[in-house]
Amino acid sequence: MIDRLPPDLLDPPGFQPGRVCKLDGCETKHNSRGLCKRHYRQWLRHNDEAYRESQREYHRRRRAKKRREDPEYMARRRAANNAYYRRRKEEQQ
């Protein structure tokens, strides 16, 4: 059924025959903004500031959780905190 359709129905709107993705090394036909479908989706996903901010927050929380679960890290943090508060208390006296 799909081979009987005229070729212009298979190509996305704005497609110009003979154009390929503008990224070096990608020989896939161009879809939008000079990019193939795969690279266009990546561009949409990663050029969205809200998406990037959500990813930053996710990874920040994930790193914090890994740190909390690391006993050596927590021991170093406690020692640093104790030293800080000890110095602060000495300065106040």
> Tell me: the pLDDT tens digits for 31-55?
887 788 888 888 777 776 776 777 7
Nearest alpha carbon to residue 26 among 42, 12, 13, 14: 42
Nearest alpha carbon to residue 30 among 44, 4, 55, 12: 12
Would the pLDDT of 2 be above 50? no
Would the pLDDT of 77 be above 50? yes
pTM of the full structure: 0.37
Would the pLDDT of 19 be above 70? yes
Would the pLDDT of 82 be above 60? yes
